[in-house]
Amino acid sequence: MSEALQCSSCGGANQLPAGKSSMFCAFCGNAIEKKVETNGNIPKPEDNPQIKNFLELAGNAKESGNYEEAINYYNKAIEFDIKLPEAWFGKGYCSGWSGNLRIIKISEMVRNFKKALDYTIEKEEMKKRIAQSIDGCAFAVYNLSYNHTVEFATVDGTYQEHLHRSIDVLDALEYAHSLDTTSKHILDSLVQISENLLTPIRFKDYDDNYGSLKMDGRSQEKVNTIRLKYSSILAKSDKNYAASVSKKAGTGNTLRIIGAVCVIIAFILFKSDVIFISILLGIGGIASFYYGNNMVQNYKGISDNVKYSDPKLKNDGVLLTRDSKLIENKTMLKSIEAFSGWGGAAENLGIKNAEKKLVKKAKEVGGSAVLIIRKTEPMGGVKLFGKVYK
């Protein structure tokens, strides 16, 4: 005999089949559970032969790649007991891999995984399993979407659909990182995907005309924020990546200088009527400056964050750091700033000089630590801003 059961999400009236303690709402699809009063003797899910059978059938279908079939069996198990973490985890995994370019199911996968995490006792183990599963599926979805976009770049709407899918993928990966902050692979995925999205997709149409596809300003700002955030985290834990970032930032700065010099020489040659060479040199100089400036913009912020990620002692033990956690128990005395006339190609020397000035100012007010807040590059130099703590 069926029993009336109201959905807590939409308020819909449902009929719970006999012998079951939970079901999916017929109106909104939300999982709802019958409240059962017990005398303390709560049966274990594995003691129910029907639940055990459905989980085994679901597992076999999952291993065979029959994800829709597996989801059906996981749903049947959940209808008997809504608090089955393995059923929710399996359903989440299969949801993600059952999607396609027309309907990706990354968000659905995450929702099911969150249910698994809610109902499991082994929280930490489940977090790592979920994070690893999201990483694998999300990266695969992005690669599939990217390759499709490159192949059909000239079709209207293709790039916009790719962008929507990619944002869903990044959101899922950020959730995965929150569950397992130690996973370098998840950080790699976040950095690679965000960097790829910021790079225009170039194509050639049927008339052999070249074009490119890129994000609008708002999307670009969001993706770049993600890139900077996780690149900085990755650089702090991976010395090789940190070194490559610093090298790219330095190369960009050198290209800017070369470009500026070329433009100046081109102007001088143009005034001397060496027209052709001056034009070529000018074009090359502008291109070099533009490309170098992009590299500086892309990697300088990451490089700066890494530079002060670990505490370092300067002059009589004054602490210089960008990590606010290291000064949590200290009292702030005042804000300070320091300028050095060295910049451009001699930027490292400029930073060192500015650091010395910060240390000197900190000691003048009796400070024992300086938190580096930000760095700017005014014309002809470097300027550091910080707060003194004691």
Position 309 pLDDT exceeds 80 = no
Q: Which of 91, 17, 79 is nearest to 51 (CA)?
A: 79
Q: Give Cα separations from 75 to 90, 108, 232, 382 (angstroms).
A: 10, 14, 41, 61
CATH number listed for the domain at residues 312-389: 3.30.110.70
Annotate 35-53 with DSSP letters as a single string: ----SS-PPPGGG-HHHHH
The pTM of this model reads 0.62
Radius of gyration over every alpha carbon of the chain, rounded to an integer in angstroms: 29
Residue whose token pair is 């009929």: 15
Q: Locate tokens 């490119």: which residue?
A: 212
**Band of pLDDT at residue 362, cut at 50, 70 and 90:** confident
Kindly list the domain boundaries of the chain, sorted by start residue: 1-41, 122-237, 249-305, 312-389
Comparing C-alpha atoms, which of 91, 81, 24, 32 is closest to residue 52? 81
Cβ(163)–Cβ(197) below 8 Å: yes
pLDDT higher than 90, residue 113: yes
pLDDT value at position 382?
74
Lowest-pLDDT range of 12-16, 60-64, 94-98, 299-303: 299-303
Q: Which pLDDT band, with edges at 50, 70 and 90, does 166 fall under? A: very high
